[in-house]
Chains A and B, each alone.
Chain A
Amino acid sequence: MTSNAFIAFQKNEETRCIVEAIVDDNPDAVVVDQPAMVKVDVPGRLVIKRATVEEKMGRDFDLQELQLHLITISGHLDESDDEFVLSWQS
Chain B
Amino acid sequence: MDMKVSKKLGLKERYTMMTRDLAWDTTFQPMDKVFPQVGYEGIKIHDWDQWEDPFRLTMDAYWKYQAEKERKLYAILDAFNQNNGHLSVTDARYMNVLKLFLGSTPPLELMAARGFSMVARQMVGAGPRVACMMQSVDEYRHFQTQIHSISNYNRFYNGMDEFAHQQSRMWYLSDGKSFFDDAITAGPFEFMVAIGFAFEYVLTNILFVPFISGAAYNGDMAAMTVGFSAQSDEARHMTLGLECIKFMLEQDPDNLPIVQRWIDKWTWRGTRKLASVGMMMDYMLPKRIMSFKEAWEIYFEQNGSALFNDLARYGVKVPKCFAQTIEEKEHITHQSWIGFYMKPDACPFHTWIPAPDELDWLSEKYPNTFDKYYRPVLEHFDKQEKAGNRFNNKTQPMNCQVCVSTIKFNEPGDPMEMCFRETVYKGEKFHFCSDHCKEIFEDEPEKYVQTFISSHAALQGKCEPEGTDVNAHDYRPGARMHAYWRMDKRASGDFNGSEDQKNFAQWRDQATKN
Contacts and interface: CB of A to CB of B under 8 A. Distances in A.
A8 interface: yes
Interface string A2-38: 0111101010000000000000000000000011110
Contacts, number: 93
B232 A89 contact: no
Contacts of A69: 232
A4 B235 contact: no
Given A3-B310, A81-B10, A90-B309, A67 B289 contact: no
Given A10-B228, A64-B65, A72-B209, A35 B10 contact: no
B303 A79 contact: no
A72 B235 contact: yes
A70 B231 CA distance: 7
A47 B216 CA distance: 28
A74 B306 contact: yes
Given A70-B232, A70-B235, A64 B303 contact: no
Contacts of B289: 34-35
Interface string B49-77: 00000111100010001001100000000
A29 B216 CA distance: 25
A61 interface: no
B302 interface: yes
Contacts of B239: 73, 77
B335 interface: no
Given A35-B213, A81-B10, A89-B310, A72 B65 contact: no
B414 to A, nearest CB: 32
A36 B216 CA distance: 7
B11 A72 contact: no
Contacts of B55: 67, 77, 79
Most buried by A among B61, B306, B313: B306
Contact of A8 (B56, B209, B305, B312): B209
A71 B228 contact: yes
Nearest to A73: B235
Contacts of A8: 209
Contacts of A37: 209, 213, 216, 228
Contacts of B307: 74
A37 B307 CA distance: 23
A70 B305 CA distance: 22
A33 to B, nearest CB: 11
Contacts of B217: 35
Q: How large is the interface on A (under 10, 10 to 19, 20 to 34, 35 or more residues)?
A: 20 to 34
Contacts of A64: 57, 61, 65
A34 to B, nearest CB: 5
B234 A88 contact: no
Nearest to A89: B310
A34 B312 CA distance: 32
B400 interface: no
A6 to B, nearest CB: 8
A68 B28 CA distance: 43
Contacts of B214: 35
A80 B232 CA distance: 19
B113 interface: no
Contacts of A35: 213-214, 216-217, 289
A64 to B, nearest CB: 6
B193 interface: no
Most buried by B among A36, A75, A80, A88: A36
B279 interface: no
A70 B56 CA distance: 15
Contacts of A67: 55, 57, 65, 232, 235-236
Contact of B11 (A34, A74, A81): A81
A65 interface: yes
B10 A34 contact: no
29 contacts: A3-B305, A3-B309, A3-B310, A4-B303, A4-B306, A8-B209, A10-B232, A34-B289, A37-B209, A37-B213, A37-B216, A65-B65, A67-B57, A67-B232, A69-B232, A70-B234, A71-B208, A71-B209, A71-B228, A72-B208, A72-B209, A72-B235, A73-B235, A74-B306, A79-B11, A79-B54, A80-B12, A88-B309, A90-B309
Interface of A: 3-6, 8, 10, 34-37, 64-65, 67-77, 79-81, 88-90
Given A77-B239, A90-B310, 12 more contacts: A3-B310, A8-B209, A35-B214, A36-B212, A68-B68, A70-B232, A71-B209, A72-B208, A77-B54, A77-B55, A79-B56, A80-B11
A-B CB proximity, top 6 nearest: A3-B306, A36-B216, A90-B309, A71-B231, A70-B235, A35-B217
